[in-house]
Amino acid sequence: MNWEILEVIIVSKNSFFNQIINYQKQGIPKGVYSICTANEIVIEAAMEMEIENNNYILIESTCNQVNQFGGYSGMTPFGFRDFVFKIAEKIGFPSDKIILGGDHLGPNPWKEDNASVAMEKACQLINNYIEAGYTKIHVDTSMRLADDNSDKTESLVPEIIASRGARLATVAESAFRRLKQKDSLVEPPVYVIGTEVPVPGGIVSTEKKTEITKVEDFKKTISLFKKQFFDNKLGYSWNRVIAVVVQPGVEFSACSIDNYDRSNSIELSNYIKKIPGIVFEVHSTDYQEPESLKQLVEDGFTILKVGPALTFAMREAFFSLNMIEKELFKNKDVHLSELMNTIDRAMLNNPSNWNEYYKGDVREIELARKYSFSDRLRYYWAVPEVRDSIQILFNNLRRTEIPLTLLSQYMPEQYKKVKVGLLNKDPRVLIRDRIISVLENYKKAVN
């Protein structure tokens, strides 16, 4: 079979990503937001928001979060796929409107291994993601591995990054061809390259000024990866490299946010307009103002990724409901959830997911565990005792009527909707609506 001819036929269709890119190249500011989370309630909220419009939804998992060994979520790529589709079935969201993406796919989870071992594991990772039906693949081989030479404080040589990236793309293409033999309708993967972002998990602080990607570095990334694709007989798939990750000056840490200033990225923004078929992808857009998100899309930063801001909003809603529960059942013979205390104990019992990120004295770290923008708390919602606490909270709030007065105090935006009949008082519904309030900013920005 002539795969090069087949690829041209498939990619020439009006696929979702091609439509978005075509709009951008015509000067029409369209984009797509990407939900980076393994949280069930967040995914529910995203599907609920888009179900009426029958829009595509892009959901991504990282190499640390989901891999062949389970990752920190405990899920393999197949497991995550089934997890997402099960939520879709419950919500009534059409599975054919779900796009699964793999973020930072490469050797990052195994960077303490030598290159031969780490890259072999990365190849298996990519293979499993493709076999599980992921179609948007961010190839990230930027991290230094145990036996990489030269100064450890220096970035890895770009030529090595591109060479390793092409190796992973080769594995992805082979996996896709095998998949195609089983299902003739399966879509080929599209690729995202570049990594002007922190490793999965985020940065520790923003004390250093966030450096905006230089046009010459962007050019070099394109040039090196294109050469490696063609050298490795992947030229037919180069037109499926749809985006390059860049840094336009948006970032956040535990307690600070770098807001987008479009005047700092004019050169980068102008240059992408000249490049056919490729747009920018931006990570860490969490906590940006609605107008900033809109400007990012207008300036060619087409794929906006969001994760911690969604679980941050969910955490706010849970804490608000915990306060309502305390007020409602104070001095009553009711077993309370103690959710806020329970999740903090879980974090103290297993500090590995947050202790490198939070600095300061005891009180400052205590506040960061609960309220940080980094939202390291998101790693603990699946802990059994936390899940039990959530169920107690839901049961308590469902056995009584939440007064509008308390809802106004602790969840004022949801109170307004409940008051006029747009929302009911079920705690899970209230939480989802709080998350949707964040997602709506992205939806407006990309449309």
Report pLDDT digits (tens) over 215-242.
999 999 999 999 999 999 999 999 999 9
First to last CA, the chain: 39
Residue 71 has pLDDT above 90, yes or no: yes
- The domain defined by 3-306 folds into TIM Barrel (3.20.20)
Segment 72-81 shows an average pLDDT of 96
Q: Is 349 exposed, middle or buried (0-12, 13-18, 19+ CB in 10 A)?
A: exposed
* Cα 65 to Cα 76: distance, rounded to the nearest angstrom: 9
Tell me how crowded residue 77 is: count the other CB atoms within 10 A of its CB: 25
Tell me how crowded residue 7 is: count the other CB atoms within 10 A of its CB: 18
* Cα 72 to Cα 58: distance, rounded to the nearest angstrom: 21
Segment 188-211 shows an average pLDDT of 70
Residue 204 has pLDDT above 80, yes or no: no
8 Å CB contact between 21 and 29:
no
**Per-residue pLDDT at 226:** 97
Pairing of strands 136-139, 57-62: unpaired
**Per-residue pLDDT at 98:** 96
* pLDDT band for position 8 (cuts 50, 70, 90): very low
Tell me how crowded residue 280 is: count the other CB atoms within 10 A of its CB: 31
| C-alpha R_g of the chain | 22
**Per-residue pLDDT at 208:** 65
**Per-residue pLDDT at 393:** 98
Question: Residue 266 corresponds to which amino acid?
Answer: I
Question: For the whole model, what pTM was predicted?
Answer: 0.93
Residue 14 has pLDDT above 60, yes or no: no
8 Å CB contact between 256 and 373:
yes
**Per-residue pLDDT at 197:** 56
* pLDDT band for position 203 (cuts 50, 70, 90): very low
- As a residue count, the chain comes to 447
Cα angle vertex 309, ends 344, 389, to 5°? 30
Tokens of 189: 């993967």
What letter would DSSP give residue 281?
E
Residue 202 has pLDDT above 60, yes or no: no
**Per-residue pLDDT at 154:** 79
Residue 11 has pLDDT above 70, yes or no: no
Segment 404-429 shows an average pLDDT of 98
360 Rama sector, left if φ>0, alpha if ψ -120 to 50, beta otherwise: left
H or E stretch including 271?
helix 266-272
Residue 196 has pLDDT above 80, yes or no: no
Segment 302-310 shows an average pLDDT of 98
Residue 12 has pLDDT above 60, yes or no: no
DSSP string, 68-108: TT-TTTTB-HHHHHHHHHHHHHHHT--GGGEEEEEEEESSG
8 Å CB contact between 278 and 244:
yes
**Per-residue pLDDT at 1:** 42
Segment 324-350 shows an average pLDDT of 97
**pLDDT (tens digit, 9 = 90+) per residue, 249-260?**
999 999 999 999
* Cα 107 to Cα 111: distance, rounded to the nearest angstrom: 6
Question: Residue 243 corresponds to which amino acid?
Answer: A
- Residue 417 has, within 13 A of its CA and on its CB side, a CA count of 16
**Per-residue pLDDT at 76:** 98
- The domain defined by 311-446 folds into GI Alpha 1, domain 2-like (1.10.400)
Nearest to 313 by CA among 286, 345, 336: 286
User: Which ranges in the chain are annotated with CATH 3.20.20.70?
Assistant: 3-306
What letter would DSSP give residue 160?
H
User: Which ranges in the chain are annotated with CATH 1.10.400.20?
Assistant: 311-446
**pLDDT (tens digit, 9 = 90+) per residue, 124-168?**
999 999 999 999 999 999 999 999 986 777 789 999 999 999 999
8 Å CB contact between 396 and 329:
yes
**Per-residue pLDDT at 5:** 45
**pLDDT (tens digit, 9 = 90+) per residue, 263-295?**
999 999 999 999 999 999 999 999 999 999 999
**Per-residue pLDDT at 209:** 75
